[in-house]
Amino acid sequence: MAPKKAPTNVNFETHPSGYKHLKLEVEGPVAKIIVDIQEDKGLWEGYELKLNSYDLGVDIELADAVNRLRFEHPEVSTVVISSGQDGVFSSGANIFMLGSATHGFKVNFCKFTNETRLSIEDASAHSDQKYIAAVNGVCSGGGYELALACDEIYLIDDRKSTVALPEVPYLGVLPGTGGLTRVTDKRKVRRDLADVFCTLAEGVKGKRAKKWGLVDEVYPSSRFDEAVEQKATELAGSGNANRKGVALDALEPTIEEDSVTYRHVTLAWGAQTRTATLDIHAAKEAIDVPGDKELDANWYPLRLFRELDDALLRLRFNHPEIGLVVLRTHGDPARVLEMDKLLFAHQDTWFVRETTHFIRRTLKRMDLCAMSFFALIEEDSAFVGSFLEFAFASDRAYMLDEDNVKVALSDMNMGLLPMSNGISRLATRLLDDDAALDALKTNREPFAALDAEDAGLITLAFDDLDWEDEIRLATEERASLSPDALTGMEASLRFAGPETLETKIFGRLSAWQNWIFQRPNAVGPKGALSLYGQPESPEFDWERT
């Protein structure tokens, strides 16, 4: 299959009323996500979504459902994911979609799908919403990876249904959404058994699946639905009836040929080769205090980071030619610090806490973008507190050495917004300097440019005479470097410190899946992925590297 140009107008906003492939049902403390994928409604032409296989369009709906459950239905404490089709839970990512997609699209697809799986685990860890995978049919590849993201996996014992990760024997690639890592690190499946499982194309069923730790319970067909319902009810308990949900309205940005403009965020491109600008604006008015006024999705912190999240996804998928993002903040720093005080002081309020978790996930999305970020701290900037995280998340932060240009820390920089490595961006920057980190933990004084440079808060400071030339040279140089080398370099440098399940998943995805997806053994004319579904067998280059 010759790769096609991936769609460049993907819209990441949706709503349950417009879902094509999922059904979201809420009954008190229990919610159900029913996967019933429509074969003829793929994201682009050329493939059919048979056997409940999914593409990016399906995963956009799943990501939306998980997020809406956290904000719109916080009373829910158990979510059951099941199939609406007989005999199949999900056969995973659609192989013909992958085979016909560009390399970049394949990798970005896997990355987005991973982030969605992680959002399920994050909801379980932080939002009192436990997930059950009710595997009521064949469950393979990305379908089993979806199940692996859940807290519990229940498998129907009908002598046909199996769980499987068949990518290695069938396609010559890896489970691209964290399957290998979750099998070993999350479910603690023994290495030798995992080795057999991941090379057994037909998968494992029934009692053996439970014995090996691949599922939690196995129920016969005659009582599967009843057993799942009973387990879900027990796990849900009384739910969180004291929480009142908040509807997530559409963002509706203004989209033009060279920009996407939201209320608080503007993304633009075209002024400099392979470079985009991302402008983030502080609140112009006082931010509503939780408790004084009923908050909704227009509450500034939530609205801002929903806009930024959408902009980052549009950058990834719709503008793959962009290699460098120049990031600026604007407005009154006092507004940002005011926002941070509210966020930090009201963590016992579920909506504020949930908003904080969303901010954390959005910043992680930025960390994982395969493009360079340069933060420019100049006049009228607002790089303080949580906005200073944008500079910490950037590959470089340049600061203008002028008396009225300052940066400052807040309590939000001290661990409430950790990276995928489990520690704050500030702690990651100062990984081997505990004394410097300790000195900053209680320091809330503004830093001038040279002091910020000495403290490790920025990369370099330039005075007004050098600023324009230095920034121009830095951005032009960055945009001229190999995008492949930069992607590898950034992914290696951004995640210093501890390794976690998340860093393992994305590190292996960036390195191994990126490599495998370009190898002839997978995508060449005689590669396993290219010949999937054909009578011809793949031909491999047998040299190991």
For residues 277 and 223, membership in a common domain is answered with: no
For residues 263 and 215, membership in a common domain is answered with: no
Q: How far apart are CA 3 and CA 269, in angstroms?
A: 26
Residue 493: per-residue pLDDT: 92
For residues 488 and 364, membership in a common domain is answered with: yes
DSSP for 45-58 reads: SS---GGG-B-HHH
Is the four-CA dihedral 142, 108, 260, 264 of positive or negative sign? positive
Q: Is 539 a domain residue? A: no
Residue 3: per-residue pLDDT: 45
For residues 326 and 416, membership in a common domain is answered with: yes
Average per-residue pLDDT in the chain? 94
CATH number, domain with residue 326: 3.90.226.10
Enumerate residues 6+ apart whose C-beta is below 8 A from 408: 333, 337, 384, 385, 388, 444, 445, 446, 447
Number of H helices, E strands in the chain: 21, 18
Q: How far apart are CA 119 and CA 125, in angstroms?
A: 10
State the average pLDDT over residues 258-282.
95
Q: What is the pLDDT of residues 388-420, one digit of tens each?
A: 999 999 999 999 999 999 999 999 999 999 999
Q: Is 127 a domain residue? A: yes
Domain end position, chosen among 468, 493, 518: 493
For residues 220 and 138, membership in a common domain is answered with: yes
Q: How far apart are CA 80 and CA 384, in angstroms?
A: 41
> What is the pLDDT confidence band of residue 28, given thresholds at 50, 70 and 90?
very high
Residue 428: per-residue pLDDT: 96
CA distances from residue 116 to 69, 112, 121, 255 in whole angstroms, order as listed? 13, 6, 9, 25
Q: 177: domain range?
A: 17-236
Q: Is 499 a domain residue? A: no
Q: Is 8 a domain residue? A: no
Residue 5: per-residue pLDDT: 53
Statement: residue 511 has pLDDT above 70? no
Give buried/exposed letters for 274-304 (b at 16+ CB in 10 A, else e): bbbbbbbbbbeeebbebeeeebebebbbbbb
For residues 365 and 437, membership in a common domain is answered with: yes
Residue 276: per-residue pLDDT: 97
Q: How far apart are CA 450 and CA 403, in angstroms?
A: 11
Residue 2: per-residue pLDDT: 47
Residue 440: per-residue pLDDT: 97
CA angle 502, 528, 159 (to 5 degrees): 75
176/451: higher pLDDT = 451
Q: What is the pLDDT of residues 56-73, one digit of tens each?
A: 999 999 999 999 999 999
Q: Is 161 a domain residue? A: yes
Residue 1: per-residue pLDDT: 44
For residues 225 and 270, membership in a common domain is answered with: no
For residues 35 and 140, membership in a common domain is answered with: yes
State the average pLDDT over residues 190-209.
96
Is the four-CA dihedral 404, 410, 414, 419 of positive or negative sign? negative
For residues 229 and 310, membership in a common domain is answered with: no
For residues 158 and 286, membership in a common domain is answered with: no
Q: DSSP H helical segments within 327-460, as ranges?
A: 333-345, 350-367, 388-393, 425-429, 434-441, 449-455
Q: What is the pLDDT of residues 156-177, one digit of tens each?
A: 999 999 999 999 999 888 888 8
Q: DSSP H helical segments within 127-221, as ranges?
A: 142-148, 167-171, 179-181, 191-198, 206-211
Q: How far apart are CA 10 and CA 43, in angstroms?
A: 9
Q: How far apart are CA 307 and CA 318, in angstroms?
A: 16
Statement: residue 484 has pLDDT above 50? yes
Q: What is the pLDDT of residues 319-359, one digit of tens each?
A: 999 999 999 999 999 999 999 999 999 999 999 999 999 99
Q: Say if residue 158 is exposed, middle or buried (CB neighbours under 10 Å; 0-12, 13-18, 19+).
A: middle
Residue 282: per-residue pLDDT: 98
For residues 262 and 222, membership in a common domain is answered with: no
State the average pLDDT over residues 119-137.
97
Cβ 524 vs Cβ 518: under 8 Å = no
**Among all chains, which residue has been given the structure tokens 């509210």?**
342
Q: Is 316 a domain residue? A: yes
Cβ 89 vs Cβ 36: under 8 Å = no
512/429: higher pLDDT = 429
* Radius of gyration (C-alpha) of the chain in whole angstroms: 24
Residue 6: per-residue pLDDT: 62
Domain end position, chosen among 447, 475, 493: 493
196/530: higher pLDDT = 196
Q: Is 245 a domain residue? A: no
Minimum mean pLDDT range among 96-110, 291-305, 414-428:
96-110
For residues 275 and 176, membership in a common domain is answered with: no
Domain total in the chain: 2
Q: Is 315 a domain residue? A: yes
Enumerate residues 6+ apart whose C-beta is below 8 A from 269: 258, 259, 275, 276, 277, 319, 322
